[in-house]
Homo-oligomer: A and B are copies of this chain.
Protein backbone atom coordinates (compact mmCIF):
# COMPACT_ATOMS: atom_id res chain seq x y z
CA UNK A 1 0.00 0.00 0.00
CA UNK A 2 1.28 3.43 -0.96
CA UNK A 3 0.87 5.93 1.86
CA UNK A 4 0.76 9.71 1.58
CA UNK A 5 4.08 11.54 1.40
CA UNK A 6 3.16 13.68 4.41
CA UNK A 7 3.76 10.67 6.68
CA UNK A 8 7.45 10.80 5.77
CA UNK A 9 7.73 14.09 7.65
CA UNK A 10 7.03 12.42 10.99
CA UNK A 11 9.55 10.45 13.00
CA UNK A 12 8.61 7.49 15.14
CA UNK A 13 8.55 8.79 18.64
CA UNK A 14 11.65 8.05 20.67
CA UNK A 15 9.49 8.54 23.72
CA UNK A 16 7.17 5.76 22.69
CA UNK A 17 9.99 3.23 22.92
CA UNK A 18 10.70 4.39 26.43
CA UNK A 19 7.04 4.23 27.41
CA UNK A 20 6.99 0.53 26.53
CA UNK A 21 9.37 -0.05 29.43
CA UNK A 22 7.04 1.66 31.87
CA UNK A 23 4.97 -1.49 32.22
CA UNK A 24 7.76 -2.95 34.34
CA UNK A 25 6.33 -3.71 37.81
CA UNK A 26 7.21 -1.33 40.60
CA UNK A 27 8.39 1.49 38.36
CA UNK A 28 7.95 4.98 39.80
CA UNK A 29 7.17 7.15 36.81
CA UNK A 30 7.95 10.84 36.37
CA UNK A 31 7.59 10.32 32.62
CA UNK A 32 3.90 11.08 32.11
CA UNK A 33 2.42 14.30 30.84
CA UNK A 34 -0.96 13.85 32.47
CA UNK A 35 -2.73 14.88 35.68
CA UNK A 36 -3.28 12.55 38.60
CA UNK A 37 -6.46 10.45 38.21
CA UNK A 38 -6.90 10.60 41.97
CA UNK A 39 -7.51 14.33 41.65
CA UNK A 40 -10.52 14.05 39.34
CA UNK A 41 -13.78 15.37 40.78
CA UNK A 42 -15.61 12.15 39.94
CA UNK A 43 -18.66 13.01 42.01
CA UNK A 44 -18.97 16.43 40.38
CA UNK A 45 -18.68 14.94 36.92
CA UNK A 46 -21.16 12.17 37.76
CA UNK A 47 -23.68 14.77 38.84
CA UNK A 48 -22.97 16.93 35.79
CA UNK A 49 -23.45 14.07 33.31
CA UNK A 50 -26.61 12.87 35.07
CA UNK A 51 -27.98 16.40 34.92
CA UNK A 52 -27.13 16.69 31.23
CA UNK A 53 -29.06 13.48 30.48
CA UNK A 54 -31.91 14.57 32.72
CA UNK A 55 -32.37 18.13 31.49
CA UNK A 56 -31.25 17.96 27.86
CA UNK A 57 -31.08 14.30 26.72
CA UNK A 58 -31.92 15.12 23.11
CA UNK A 59 -29.18 17.70 22.76
CA UNK A 60 -26.61 15.75 24.78
CA UNK A 61 -26.97 12.63 22.62
CA UNK A 62 -27.77 14.10 19.18
CA UNK A 63 -25.50 15.58 16.52
CA UNK A 64 -24.46 19.08 17.45
CA UNK A 65 -23.14 22.23 15.83
CA UNK A 66 -19.56 21.95 14.60
CA UNK A 67 -18.78 25.21 16.45
CA UNK A 68 -19.69 23.60 19.76
CA UNK A 69 -22.60 23.13 22.13
CA UNK A 70 -24.00 26.59 22.83
CA UNK A 71 -24.35 26.26 26.64
CA UNK A 72 -20.71 25.16 26.81
CA UNK A 73 -19.51 28.02 24.63
CA UNK A 74 -21.34 30.36 27.01
CA UNK A 75 -19.66 28.78 30.05
CA UNK A 76 -16.22 28.82 28.43
CA UNK A 77 -16.56 32.47 27.50
CA UNK A 78 -17.46 33.22 31.12
CA UNK A 79 -14.45 31.14 32.26
CA UNK A 80 -12.15 33.19 30.00
CA UNK A 81 -13.74 36.41 31.23
CA UNK A 82 -12.97 35.34 34.81
CA UNK A 83 -9.33 35.11 33.74
CA UNK A 84 -9.11 38.60 32.37
CA UNK A 85 -10.33 38.24 28.78
CA UNK A 86 -12.92 40.83 29.64
CA UNK A 87 -14.58 41.28 26.28
CA UNK A 88 -14.98 37.73 24.96
CA UNK A 89 -18.31 36.49 23.62
CA UNK A 90 -19.32 32.81 23.10
CA UNK A 91 -19.23 33.15 19.31
CA UNK A 92 -15.54 34.09 19.46
CA UNK A 93 -14.57 30.56 20.47
CA UNK A 94 -15.22 27.07 19.17
CA UNK A 95 -15.10 23.81 21.10
CA UNK A 96 -12.43 21.33 19.98
CA UNK A 97 -11.82 17.66 20.72
CA UNK A 98 -9.08 18.42 23.21
CA UNK A 99 -6.71 21.28 22.50
CA UNK A 100 -4.74 18.81 20.36
CA UNK A 101 -7.50 19.21 17.79
CA UNK A 102 -7.19 22.99 17.94
CA UNK A 103 -3.53 22.56 16.95
CA UNK A 104 -4.50 20.15 14.18
CA UNK A 105 -7.09 22.59 12.83
CA UNK A 106 -4.54 25.42 12.91
CA UNK A 107 -2.14 23.23 10.90
CA UNK A 108 -4.83 22.16 8.45
CA UNK A 109 -6.15 25.69 8.02
CA UNK A 110 -2.85 27.52 7.63
CA UNK A 111 0.11 25.34 6.66
CA UNK A 112 1.17 24.71 3.08
CA UNK A 113 4.00 22.21 2.58
CA UNK A 114 7.27 24.08 3.08
CA UNK A 115 5.78 26.85 5.23
CA UNK A 116 7.85 27.88 8.21
CA UNK A 117 6.46 27.65 11.74
CA UNK A 118 8.36 28.90 14.79
CA UNK A 119 8.05 27.04 18.10
CA UNK A 120 9.92 27.16 21.38
CA UNK A 121 13.01 25.00 21.59
CA UNK A 122 12.11 22.78 23.43
CA UNK A 123 8.35 22.49 22.95
CA UNK A 124 5.43 20.03 23.15
CA UNK A 125 6.41 17.01 21.09
CA UNK A 126 2.98 16.31 19.56
CA UNK A 127 2.82 19.87 18.24
CA UNK A 128 6.01 19.49 16.24
CA UNK A 129 4.70 16.29 14.63
CA UNK A 130 1.20 17.71 14.16
CA UNK A 131 2.48 20.68 12.14
CA UNK A 132 5.02 18.54 10.23
CA UNK A 133 2.19 16.30 9.03
CA UNK A 134 0.95 19.33 7.10
CA UNK A 135 4.42 19.88 5.70
CA UNK A 136 5.61 22.62 8.06
CA UNK A 137 9.31 23.35 8.44
CA UNK A 138 9.44 23.74 12.22
CA UNK A 139 12.03 26.24 13.50
CA UNK A 140 12.89 26.38 17.21
CA UNK A 141 13.37 29.70 19.00
CA UNK A 142 15.58 29.63 22.10
CA UNK A 143 14.06 29.97 25.55
CA UNK A 144 15.22 30.55 29.11
CA UNK A 145 13.36 30.34 32.42
CA UNK A 146 11.38 33.45 31.39
CA UNK A 147 10.19 31.77 28.22
CA UNK A 148 11.04 32.60 24.64
CA UNK A 149 13.86 35.11 24.12
CA UNK A 150 12.14 37.96 22.35
CA UNK A 151 15.12 39.47 20.51
CA UNK A 152 16.03 36.09 19.04
CA UNK A 153 12.38 35.44 18.20
CA UNK A 154 12.24 38.71 16.29
CA UNK A 155 15.36 37.81 14.32
CA UNK A 156 13.83 34.43 13.42
CA UNK A 157 10.54 36.02 12.38
CA UNK A 158 12.44 38.42 10.13
CA UNK A 159 14.52 35.63 8.64
CA UNK A 160 11.83 32.98 8.14
CA UNK A 161 8.57 34.93 7.73
CA UNK A 162 6.71 32.09 9.52
CA UNK A 163 3.05 31.22 9.00
CA UNK A 164 2.73 31.50 12.77
CA UNK A 165 4.59 31.33 16.07
CA UNK A 166 3.50 28.60 18.50
CA UNK A 167 4.13 29.25 22.20
CA UNK A 168 3.20 27.65 25.53
CA UNK A 169 3.80 30.86 27.47
CA UNK A 170 2.58 29.69 30.87
CA UNK A 171 4.43 26.76 32.50
CA UNK A 172 5.61 25.38 29.17
CA UNK A 173 5.79 21.71 28.26
CA UNK A 174 8.48 20.49 28.74
CA UNK A 175 10.23 23.62 30.00
CA UNK A 176 7.99 24.69 32.86
CA UNK A 177 9.06 28.21 31.85
CA UNK A 178 6.87 31.24 32.50
CA UNK A 179 6.93 34.01 29.92
CA UNK A 180 7.06 37.32 31.78
CA UNK A 181 4.41 39.98 31.33
CA UNK A 182 6.98 42.26 29.73
CA UNK A 183 7.94 39.64 27.16
CA UNK A 184 4.30 38.83 26.46
CA UNK A 185 3.67 42.44 25.55
CA UNK A 186 6.76 42.47 23.34
CA UNK A 187 5.66 39.30 21.54
CA UNK A 188 2.26 40.90 20.91
CA UNK A 189 4.02 43.93 19.48
CA UNK A 190 6.02 41.65 17.19
CA UNK A 191 2.76 40.01 16.07
CA UNK A 192 1.41 43.38 14.96
CA UNK A 193 4.70 44.63 13.53
CA UNK A 194 5.25 41.55 11.37
CA UNK A 195 1.55 40.64 10.88
CA UNK A 196 2.34 37.21 12.27
CA UNK A 197 -0.14 34.97 14.08
CA UNK A 198 0.79 33.92 17.63
CA UNK A 199 -0.71 30.59 18.67
CA UNK A 200 -0.94 30.56 22.47
CA UNK A 201 -1.36 27.06 23.86
CA UNK A 202 -2.51 27.38 27.45
CA UNK A 203 -3.36 24.05 29.09
CA UNK A 204 -1.41 24.75 32.30
CA UNK A 205 -2.24 28.39 33.07
CA UNK A 206 -4.70 27.49 35.85
CA UNK A 207 -2.17 25.27 37.63
CA UNK A 208 -0.15 27.90 39.50
CA UNK A 209 1.31 27.34 42.95
CA UNK A 210 1.81 30.80 44.40
CA UNK A 211 0.78 34.08 42.83
CA UNK A 212 -1.24 33.93 39.61
CA UNK A 213 0.92 34.12 36.48
CA UNK A 214 0.63 37.11 34.12
CA UNK A 215 -2.62 37.19 32.13
CA UNK A 216 -2.73 35.12 28.96
CA UNK A 217 -1.51 36.74 25.74
CA UNK A 218 -5.18 36.69 24.70
CA UNK A 219 -6.08 38.76 27.76
CA UNK A 220 -3.07 41.07 27.33
CA UNK A 221 -3.90 41.71 23.69
CA UNK A 222 -6.23 44.50 24.87
CA UNK A 223 -3.10 46.45 25.89
CA UNK A 224 -1.44 46.20 22.48
CA UNK A 225 -3.55 47.88 19.79
CA UNK A 226 -4.20 45.67 16.78
CA UNK A 227 -2.81 42.52 18.39
CA UNK A 228 -6.06 40.69 19.19
CA UNK A 229 -6.56 39.56 15.61
CA UNK A 230 -3.04 38.04 15.62
CA UNK A 231 -3.64 35.81 18.65
CA UNK A 232 -5.14 32.31 18.47
CA UNK A 233 -5.64 30.93 21.98
CA UNK A 234 -6.02 27.19 22.75
CA UNK A 235 -7.66 26.31 26.05
CA UNK A 236 -8.20 22.91 27.65
CA UNK A 237 -10.13 21.16 30.40
CA UNK A 238 -7.64 18.28 30.32
CA UNK A 239 -5.15 19.26 33.00
CA UNK A 240 -7.53 20.74 35.54
CA UNK A 241 -10.77 18.75 35.17
CA UNK A 242 -10.44 15.61 33.00
CA UNK A 243 -8.51 14.72 29.84
CA UNK A 244 -11.04 11.97 29.12
CA UNK A 245 -13.77 14.47 28.30
CA UNK A 246 -11.62 15.69 25.39
CA UNK A 247 -12.91 19.23 25.68
CA UNK A 248 -10.69 22.06 24.51
CA UNK A 249 -11.42 25.36 22.82
CA UNK A 250 -9.98 27.75 20.32
CA UNK A 251 -10.35 31.55 20.44
CA UNK A 252 -9.38 33.32 17.23
CA UNK A 253 -10.40 36.07 14.86
CA UNK A 254 -13.53 35.34 12.77
CA UNK A 255 -11.86 34.50 9.44
CA UNK A 256 -9.59 31.89 11.00
CA UNK A 257 -12.35 30.52 13.21
CA UNK A 258 -14.69 30.09 10.27
CA UNK A 259 -12.12 28.07 8.34
CA UNK A 260 -11.26 26.00 11.40
CA UNK A 261 -14.97 25.16 11.69
CA UNK A 262 -15.08 24.10 8.03
CA UNK A 263 -12.09 21.81 8.56
CA UNK A 264 -13.52 20.43 11.79
CA UNK A 265 -16.74 19.57 9.98
CA UNK A 266 -14.75 17.03 7.96
CA UNK A 267 -12.43 16.00 10.83
CA UNK A 268 -15.01 14.77 13.34
CA UNK A 269 -18.21 16.77 12.60
CA UNK A 270 -18.29 18.01 16.21
CA UNK A 271 -16.92 17.25 19.65
CA UNK A 272 -18.94 14.73 21.69
CA UNK A 273 -22.09 16.57 22.73
CA UNK A 274 -22.35 14.20 25.69
CA UNK A 275 -18.91 15.34 26.91
CA UNK A 276 -19.71 18.97 26.08
CA UNK A 277 -23.03 18.95 27.94
CA UNK A 278 -21.31 17.33 30.92
CA UNK A 279 -18.56 19.97 30.94
CA UNK A 280 -21.16 22.75 30.59
CA UNK A 281 -23.16 21.44 33.53
CA UNK A 282 -19.98 21.10 35.58
CA UNK A 283 -18.97 24.70 34.97
CA UNK A 284 -22.52 25.91 35.52
CA UNK A 285 -22.65 24.14 38.88
CA UNK A 286 -19.80 26.37 40.02
CA UNK A 287 -17.49 23.57 41.14
CA UNK A 288 -14.45 24.73 39.18
CA UNK A 289 -12.98 27.22 41.68
CA UNK A 290 -12.84 24.61 44.48
CA UNK A 291 -11.39 22.01 42.09
CA UNK A 292 -8.68 24.43 40.96
CA UNK A 293 -7.81 25.33 44.55
CA UNK A 294 -7.42 21.65 45.44
CA UNK A 295 -5.24 20.64 42.47
CA UNK A 296 -3.04 23.71 42.91
CA UNK A 297 -2.34 22.81 46.54
CA UNK A 298 -1.58 19.17 45.81
CA UNK A 299 0.67 19.83 42.82
CA UNK A 300 2.44 22.68 44.64
CA UNK A 301 3.41 20.31 47.45
CA UNK A 302 4.63 17.69 44.99
CA UNK A 303 6.67 20.23 43.05
CA UNK A 304 8.28 21.51 46.25
CA UNK A 305 9.10 17.95 47.32
CA UNK A 306 10.69 17.21 43.97
CA UNK A 307 12.78 20.38 44.03
CA UNK A 308 14.21 19.60 47.46
CA UNK A 309 14.83 15.92 46.64
CA UNK A 310 16.44 16.71 43.27
CA UNK A 311 18.95 19.01 44.96
CA UNK A 312 19.61 16.55 47.75
CA UNK A 313 19.96 13.42 45.60
CA UNK A 314 21.60 14.77 42.43
CA UNK A 315 23.42 17.82 43.74
CA UNK A 316 25.54 19.66 41.26
CA UNK A 317 25.14 16.90 38.64
CA UNK A 318 21.85 18.55 37.65
CA UNK A 319 20.58 22.09 37.18
CA UNK A 320 17.00 23.29 36.95
CA UNK A 321 14.69 26.16 37.80
CA UNK A 322 11.92 25.24 40.22
CA UNK A 323 8.64 25.70 38.30
CA UNK A 324 5.94 28.02 39.67
CA UNK A 325 3.13 25.95 38.14
CA UNK A 326 2.23 23.32 35.58
CA UNK A 327 3.29 19.68 35.72
CA UNK A 328 7.00 19.63 34.86
CA UNK A 329 10.59 20.10 35.92
CA UNK A 330 12.96 20.69 33.03
CA UNK A 331 16.54 19.88 33.98
CA UNK A 332 20.01 19.63 32.52
CA UNK A 333 22.71 17.13 33.45
CA UNK A 334 25.89 19.07 34.09
CA UNK A 335 28.32 16.14 34.03
CA UNK A 336 29.84 17.55 37.25
CA UNK A 337 32.24 15.13 38.95
CA UNK A 338 32.33 12.92 35.85
CA UNK A 339 28.67 11.97 36.34
CA UNK A 340 26.54 10.92 33.34
CA UNK A 341 25.71 13.85 31.05
CA UNK A 342 23.67 12.04 28.38
CA UNK A 343 19.99 11.95 29.34
CA UNK A 344 19.24 8.90 27.18
CA UNK A 345 21.92 6.90 28.95
CA UNK A 346 20.68 8.22 32.29
CA UNK A 347 17.10 7.20 31.40
CA UNK A 348 18.20 3.63 30.72
CA UNK A 349 20.07 3.39 34.02
CA UNK A 350 17.08 4.92 35.81
CA UNK A 351 14.69 2.35 34.40
CA UNK A 352 17.01 -0.35 35.73
CA UNK A 353 16.74 1.22 39.16
CA UNK A 354 12.95 1.37 38.86
CA UNK A 355 12.32 5.03 38.03
CA UNK A 356 11.38 6.70 34.75
CA UNK A 357 11.55 10.17 33.19
CA UNK A 358 11.67 11.46 29.62
CA UNK A 359 14.94 12.49 27.96
CA UNK A 360 14.69 16.00 26.53
CA UNK A 361 16.00 15.52 22.99
CA UNK A 362 12.68 14.72 21.23
CA UNK A 363 11.22 18.04 22.44
CA UNK A 364 13.59 19.96 20.18
CA UNK A 365 12.45 20.52 16.60
CA UNK A 366 16.14 20.88 15.67
CA UNK A 367 19.56 20.69 17.40
CA UNK A 368 18.53 18.74 20.50
CA UNK A 369 20.30 19.33 23.80
CA UNK A 370 21.13 15.73 24.77
CA UNK A 371 21.79 16.60 28.39
CA UNK A 372 18.18 17.69 29.08
CA UNK A 373 15.35 15.76 30.67
CA UNK A 374 11.75 16.25 31.78
CA UNK A 375 10.34 15.09 35.09
CA UNK A 376 6.65 15.25 35.94
CA UNK A 377 5.72 15.58 39.59
CA UNK A 378 1.98 15.30 38.94
CA UNK A 379 1.12 11.64 39.29
CA UNK A 380 3.26 10.45 42.21
CA UNK A 381 2.51 11.31 45.85
CA UNK A 382 5.19 13.00 47.95
CA UNK A 383 6.46 9.69 49.39
CA UNK A 384 6.81 8.17 45.94
CA UNK A 385 8.59 11.31 44.77
CA UNK A 386 11.09 10.98 47.61
CA UNK A 387 11.58 7.29 46.86
CA UNK A 388 11.86 7.84 43.12
CA UNK A 389 14.42 10.60 43.50
CA UNK A 390 16.43 8.32 45.80
CA UNK A 391 16.51 5.78 42.99
CA UNK A 392 17.52 8.50 40.53
CA UNK A 393 20.43 9.37 42.80
CA UNK A 394 21.55 5.74 42.69
CA UNK A 395 21.17 5.63 38.91
CA UNK A 396 23.48 8.63 38.64
Contacts and interface: CB of A to CB of B under 8 A. Distances in A.
A184 B267 CA distance: 28
B63 A40 contact: no
A120 interface: no
Interface string A241-282: 011111000000101100100110111111111110110000
A2 B163 contact: yes
A78 interface: no
A129 B1 contact: no
A54 to B, nearest CB: 8
A204 B270 CA distance: 20
Contacts of A46: 50, 53-54
A310 to B, nearest CB: 25
Interface stretch (A5-13, A143-151, A166-174, A311-319): A5-13
Given A271-B246, A272-B272, A274-B242, A104 B266 contact: yes
A126 interface: yes
A259 B9 CA distance: 13
A155 interface: no
Contact of A104 (B5, B103, B267, B272): B267
Interface string A75-112: 00000000000000000000001101101100011111
B266 A133 contact: yes
A240 to B, nearest CB: 12
Interface in A111-146: 111-112, 126, 129-130, 133-134
A250 to B, nearest CB: 13
Contacts of A163: 2
Contacts of A109: 3-4, 7
A1 B201 CA distance: 20
A194 interface: no
A6 to B, nearest CB: 7
A323 B270 CA distance: 28
A374 B126 CA distance: 42
Interface string A40-70: 1010011001100110011111111000000
A269 B126 contact: yes
B4 A134 contact: yes
Interface residues of A, number: 71
Given A2-B163, A129-B266, A266-B130, A274 B244 contact: yes
Nearest to A279: B274
A270 B268 CA distance: 12
A68 to B, nearest CB: 13
Given A34-B62, A244-B62, A273-B244, A268 B104 contact: yes
A37 interface: yes
A273 B134 CA distance: 27
B45 A244 contact: no
A385 B275 CA distance: 33
A164 to B, nearest CB: 9
Interface of A: 1-7, 10, 34-35, 37-38, 40, 42, 45-46, 49-50, 53-54, 57-64, 97-98, 100-101, 103-104, 108-112, 126, 129-130, 133-134, 163, 197, 238, 242-246, 253, 255-256, 259, 262-263, 265-275, 277-278
Given A7-B109, A62-B243, 5 more contacts: A7-B263, A40-B58, A46-B53, A60-B244, A62-B244
6 contacts: A42-B57, A45-B53, A61-B244, A130-B266, A242-B274, A246-B272
